[in-house]
Amino acid sequence: MSGSVELSAGYLLHYSAHRDTSFIVDFFTLDAGLVSMYARGARSGKNRPLYQPFRPLYVSWAGDRDLKTLTGIEASGLPINFNDTAMACAYYFNELLLRLLPKFVPQPELFGHYLVALDGLMQGEGDTTKARLHALEPTLRGFELQLLLALGVAPDFGYCANEGVAPSESAHYRFYPSLGRATECFEEQPDYDPYGIRHEGVVRNDAGVDVSGSSLLALARMDLSDEKTWPDIKRIMRPLLRIQLGDRPLKSRRYFESLLRD
C-alpha cells in the first residue's frame, strides 16, 4: 500500500525502541488495518505520552515500503483505565491482531468490534480474577469469533458436515477444528484416530471436542448470552485459534497465568 494517509482513526498495538530516540510502532487503523510505522524522534518528543495502547488516536503516515513513516499523531480520546484482569484481556486482543491480521488490509467491521470489545472489558466485575474472567467470557469469545470471521476462516457452525443438516439443540456432537469452515458432528461418539480416519465419507484430522448442539447454534447465531454454552464455546475457539497461530505461544498467556497465581 503506497501513498499517504491523513488522520486515520487507530489504536497502538505494540511499539519497540529504535536507535536513540525513535520507535517502531504497530497500529490497528480504520483505513488500512494493521500498519507498521517508523516514528522518528517519538521517544523524546512532545507526543511521547500518546504512544500507549488502548487510547483512541488519529495517525497519519506516508511511504511506499512496508514500514511506513509516521507523519502525525493526535489524541482523539482519553486512554481506557482497565483493572488488571481487563488489561490482560485487552493485551490478548492486541496480540491476536498483531499475529493474525495481514498488513494494509482494511478491516472496518473488525475495527468497530475491537472498540466494542474494549468497552465490554469495562463490564467485568467480581471479587477474584477467576470471577472477573468468567464475567468477560462473552466479550472474549465474541471478539475471537469476529476475528475469525474477518480472516475468512470461521467455520459454519449452523450445519453438520457429514449430514448437511442443522445441529439439534438437545443433541451432543463432536466438533473437528481441523476441518476449517465445516463442522463434523456426531450424535454418537465413535472411536476415532487422531491422525485422521474416514467416517461417512468425511476425513477428520484431529481428535475433536465434544459440544452440545445448543452451543453450536449459539455460535451460528453469534449469541453468547447463555452462560451454559460458554465452556463449550471456549473449547471450540481455542483450537480454531491455535490452527491460525501455529505453535508459537501467546505472550499474553503469561499475563493471565500471573494474575491467576496471585
- Give the residue from 17, 44, 75 where a domain finishes: 75
Tally the domains of the chain.
2
Q: Which structural domain, as residue segments, surrounds residue 47?
A: 5-75
In a shared domain, residues 255 and 131: yes
Given a cut of 80, whether residue 205 has pLDDT beyond it is no
State mean pLDDT over 237-249. Answer: 93
Write down the pLDDT at residue 161: 66
- Give the residue from 33, 55, 75 where a domain finishes: 75
State mean pLDDT over 206-232. Answer: 91
In a shared domain, residues 128 and 23: no
Residue 176 lies in a domain: no
Write down the pLDDT at residue 46: 86
Average pLDDT over the chain reads 86
CATH number for position 23 = 2.40.50.140
Residue 175 lies in a domain: no
In a shared domain, residues 66 and 91: no
Which residue has better confidence, 213 or 149?
A: 149
In a shared domain, residues 98 and 138: yes
Cβ neighbours for 47, distance < 8 A, ≥ 6 positions apart? 73
Residue 165 lies in a domain: no
Residue 188 lies in a domain: no
Per DSSP, 13 falls in state: E
- Give the residue from 75, 99, 117 where a domain finishes: 75
Residue 213 lies in a domain: no
Given a cut of 80, whether residue 190 has pLDDT beyond it is no
pLDDT in tens, 85-131: 999 999 999 999 999 999 999 999 999 999 999 999 998 777 888 89
Write down the pLDDT at residue 201: 40
